[in-house]
Amino acid sequence: MPDNGHARLIALCQQDNEITDVVMTTEAEGPGLVLGATLGGKRAALLMQSSGVGNSVNALTILKSCAAPCLLIVTMRGEFDDFNPWQVTMGAMTESTLKACGFLTYRVERAEDVEDIVTGGCNMAYGNNLQVAVLLAQRMIKRSKGAH
Amino acid sequence: MLDRREFVGRLLADRGELLVVTGLGTPTFDVNACGDHPLNFYIWGGMGCTAMVGLGLALARPDRRIAVITGDGDLLMGMGSLATIGAKQPRNLSIVVLDNGHYGATGMQASATATGIDLAGTATSCRFRQVRSVSQIDETVDVRKILHSGQGPIFIHAKIKANDPPRVIPSRDGQAIKQRFIEASAKHI
């Protein structure tokens, strides 16, 4: 699902012949897609902003039920200097919601940590059939060169 | 109007290598009533996600044909999935909706389709390549052919009677059903 913080990654995925990208109408479609890919012997990852975690809660639980590996990369909203106060409530509950859905969560506060944590998250997810979320801090995204 | 068990039974006769994903509730029981099969994946949670499981599988396994068999309630809850599928145009995916206009598993409350909301029309609008409505059992022969050789995305809108047949309950162990399915479908054809 689109977000400014994911814009460059989405474009890179779409250009990569080894990656199949699917644009969804709601984040709630994501866990089903991941489970289906798992059944077909492929790895799948989800990109969404923190509000989308709330949209997906019941669907996310199927991944734990089936031990379907998933890497979820979440761009945080409503946690630091967000101009829209309506984002704050969901942003504040995003990490605890993911934990409640059975996800391991890792927060990234500094751009230089992204590669290491995402790599470790992939190893955890696909090596052990776990559900792993990497939360990209809003402050880091706002300060990163190239973020829109 | 179709009897759901008879329709699903004829639809899945001689199914060969067809991969089948079932929506939670009565469609899962209908498919299991035809005989448990290692190429069945039964969904027991996440209502609204069945069509997307089918899409994920279809994209991961372009060498196989996939049939999603689900109900109107599940599809209504994930209706945006039809747009997502239409955008991706998977040639190997069929969605079969058993539409009785009711939520059968929870006490037969009426669903939106009972008021005339047209799921087949929605599928057409979402660029499904073949959309077929079926209400007579004799038509199942044609529908089965479409399922096995038509070019997807295919949408089969089966109008079924609102009855509540006995529950024929398959395994509820998600990890076991997943593992069995992966092993049984690993062969590439």
Domain locations along chain A: 4-143
Of A79-83, A92-96, B122-126, B152-156, the poorest mean pLDDT is in A79-83
Phi, psi (5° rounding) for residue B18?
-60, 130
Give mean pLDDT, residues B35-40: 97
- Would you put residue B96 in left (φ > 0), alpha (ψ -120 to 50) or beta? beta
State how far the Cα of B106 lies from the Cα of B99, in Å rounded to an integer. Answer: 15
Specify the pLDDT at position A145.
Answer: 54
Name the 3-class secondary structure at B40.
strand
- The B-side interface with A (CB below 8 A) comprises 21, 41, 43-61, 78, 80-81, 83-84, 87-88, 174-175, 177-178, 181-182, 185-186
Structure tokens at A31: 């866990």
Phi, psi of B103 (to 5 degrees): -90, 95
pLDDT surpasses 80 at B167: yes
- pLDDT for residue A98: 98
The CATH number assigned to the domain with range A4-143 reads: 3.40.50.970
Q: What is the mean pLDDT of residues B116-143?
A: 97
Instruction: Give the closest residue to A78 by CA, choosing from A62, A69, A90.
Output: A90
What percent of chain B clears pLDDT 70, i.e. is strictly above it? 99
Using CB atoms and an 8 Å cut-off, which of residues 15-74 of chain A contact chain B? 20, 22-26, 28-42, 44, 58-59, 61-62, 65-68
CB contact at 8 A, B70 and B23: yes
Contacts of residues B33-39 at CB distance under 8 Å and 24 or more positions apart, as own/partner, are B33/B5, B33/B8, B33/B9, B33/B165, B33/B168, B34/B8, B34/B9, B36/B170, B36/B171, B38/B180, B38/B181, B38/B183, B38/B184, B38/B185, B39/B15, B39/B181, B39/B184, B39/B185
Task: Choose, out of B40, B50, B57, the residue to mutate when testing the contact with A (most A CBs < 10 Å).
Answer: B57
Return the bridge partners of B144, or none. none
Q: What is the pLDDT of residues A40-79, one digit of tens each?
A: 999 999 999 999 999 999 999 999 999 999 999 999 999 9
Q: What is the pLDDT of residues A90-141, one digit of tens each?
A: 999 999 999 999 999 999 999 999 999 999 999 999 999 999 999 999 999 9
Residue in chain B closest to A58 (alpha carbons) equals: B46
- Between CA A61 and CA A103 the distance in angstroms is 9
Who has greater pLDDT, A146 or A114? A114
Helix-helix angle A30-39:B174-185, to 10 degrees: 50
- Specify the residue for token string 């012949």: A17
Q: Do A42 and B43 touch (CB under 8 A)?
A: no
Domains located in chain B, CATH noted: 4-185 (3.40.50.970)
Distance CA A11, CA A19 (A): 11
Beta carbons of B182 and A39 less than 8 Å apart: yes
Question: Is A36:B53 a contact under the CB 8 Å cutoff?
Answer: yes
What is the value of ipTM here, to two decimals?
0.96
Averaged pLDDT score across all residues of chain B = 96
